[in-house]
């Protein structure tokens, strides 16, 4: 199916064709807008949650239009429920498609998760068992999204707190097979790798060793909260409410050293800090990207996602 998908025609673009390769960015929050607009080249790019821009107009679109004129934009969906057992919401998919066409984002992504059931929406990204049946359903949903928007998406690995007894394959094998079937790209959330591995007493380096890194088109970094479960064991929560942890920075450095300067996004979605704090996190990622950039040539692997 993916062979029929064609890239957006840049000749008909209404926005500048900013490049995103090798850049570090931040999530665009209304609270930071004035500070961002007061400076040039605030960060390398901005990412927005698609669902916050599904209205027809108003201040959110006015702000995003100004940002898109000056920066690359990554469009990150959180409510498509690609892993859900039910058909995709056609109205939601149509709104998602309209956003892609309206803003011509450099990157488009969604989650390997589900959040809907029987017309109910759960405000969470819920895990799914890794079975052949689930694999077929997720692949069909990704094909439907890619066919609708006319381009590949990047699929994000989840943060998990349990494992399903029904699973018949590992998460990395499941994700690799999804890529093989759909030709989608991947969004590697390094914090999710660390959170899931810690919670399940496995090695994050072993996970990364099995992950199909050659298909990664974007990386996410975020902060997490440390708690204890009922038995006193460490429990990490993917909270996006604090700086990136040292352990996650170390994993990120390893990934960039192996894969090259992949566009990297700092996620900070609650307990928002002042803009200079978030910008400093993006600058820290940019330093790592720049340090490794000399060993790689742009254009071969990452250009297909730009």
Looking at residue 241, which CATH number applies to its domain? Answer: 3.20.20.150
Residue whose structure tokens are 């011509």: 104
Which residues neighbour 104 within 8 Å (Cβ) at sequence distance 6 or greater? 8, 13, 14, 15, 68
- Whether 245 maps to a domain, the answer reads yes
Asked if residue 43 lies in contact with residue 20, where contact means CB atoms within 8 angstroms, the answer is no
Cross-strand bridge partners of residue 189? 220
Number of domains forming the structure of the chain: 1
- Whether 61 maps to a domain, the answer reads yes
Q: Which tokens sit at 143? A: 């094909």
Q: What is the pLDDT of residue 222?
A: 97
Backbone φ and ψ for 77, nearest 5 degrees, come out as -85, 145
- Whether 156 maps to a domain, the answer reads yes
Q: What is the pLDDT of residue 120?
A: 53
Q: What is the pLDDT of residue 38?
A: 94
Give the global pTM: 0.89
Asked if residue 67 lies in contact with residue 105, where contact means CB atoms within 8 angstroms, the answer is no
Q: What is the pLDDT of residue 300?
A: 45
SS3 content of the chain, % helix, strand, coil (to 5): 40, 20, 40
Helix axes 90-103, 59-70, angle to 10 degrees: 40
Q: Which tokens sit at 158? A: 């989840």
Dist CA 284 CA 275 (whole Å): 14
Q: What is the pLDDT of residue 134?
A: 94
Neighbours of 306 (CB within 10 A): 17
- Whether 208 maps to a domain, the answer reads yes
> CA end-to-end span of the chain, whole Å?
20
Q: Which tokens sit at 79? A: 């409510």
Dist CA 241 CA 227 (whole Å): 14
The SS3 assignment for 165 reads coil
- What is the span of the domain harbouring residue 137? 2-7+18-305
- Whether 83 maps to a domain, the answer reads yes
Asked if residue 197 lies in contact with residue 86, where contact means CB atoms within 8 angstroms, the answer is no
- Whether 154 maps to a domain, the answer reads yes
Asked if residue 190 lies in contact with residue 236, where contact means CB atoms within 8 angstroms, the answer is no
The SS3 assignment for 83 reads coil
Nearest to 272 by CA among 67, 17, 35, 31: 31
Q: What is the pLDDT along the chain (306 residues), one digit of tens a residue?
A: 433 333 334 445 789 999 999 999 999 999 999 999 999 899 999 999 999 999 888 999 999 999 999 999 999 999 898 988 889 999 999 999 999 999 999 999 999 985 655 565 445 666 888 999 999 999 999 999 999 999 999 999 998 877 778 889 999 999 999 999 999 999 999 999 999 999 999 999 999 999 999 999 999 999 999 887 777 778 888 898 999 999 999 999 999 999 999 999 999 999 999 999 999 999 999 999 999 998 876 544 443 333
């Amino acid at each position: 199916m993916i062979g029929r998908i064609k890239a957006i025609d840049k000749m008909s673009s209404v926005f500048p064709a900013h490049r995103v390769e090798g850049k570090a960015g931040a999530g665009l929050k209304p609270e930071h807008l004035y500070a961002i607009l007061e400076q040039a080249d605030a960060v390398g790019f901005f990412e927005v949650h698609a669902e916050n821009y599904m209205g027809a107009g108003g201040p959110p679109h006015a702000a995003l239009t100004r940002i898109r004129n000056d920066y690359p934009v990554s469009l990150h969906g959180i409510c498509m429920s690609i892993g859900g057992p039910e058909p995709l919401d056609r109205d939601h998919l149509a709104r998602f498609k309209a956003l892609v066409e309206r803003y011509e984002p450099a990157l488009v992504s969604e989650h390997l998760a589900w959040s809907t059931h029987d017309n109910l929406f759960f405000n969470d990204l819920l895990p799914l068992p890794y079975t052949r049946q689930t694999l077929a359903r997720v692949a069909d949903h990704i094909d439907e999204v890619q066919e609708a928007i006319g381009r590949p998406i990047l699929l994000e690995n989840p943060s998990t707190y349990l494992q399903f007894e029904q699973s018949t394959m590992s998460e990395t094998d499941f994700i690799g097979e999804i890529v093989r079937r759909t030709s989608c790209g991947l969004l590697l959330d390094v914090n999710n790798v660390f959170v899931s591995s810690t919670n399940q007493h496995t090695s994050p380096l072993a996970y990364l060793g099995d992950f199909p890194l050659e298909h990664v088109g974007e990386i996410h970094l975020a902060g997490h909260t440390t708690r204890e479960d009922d038995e006193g064991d460490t429990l990490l929560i993917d909270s996006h409410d604090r700086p990136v942890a040292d352990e996650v920075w170390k994993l990120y450095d390893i990934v960039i050293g192996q894969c090259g300067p992949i566009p990297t996004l700092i996620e900070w979605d609650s307990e928002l800090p002042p803009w200079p704090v978030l910008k400093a996190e993006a600058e820290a990622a940019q330093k790592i990207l720049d340090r490794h950039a000399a060993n790689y040539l742009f254009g071969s692997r990452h250009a297909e996602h730009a």
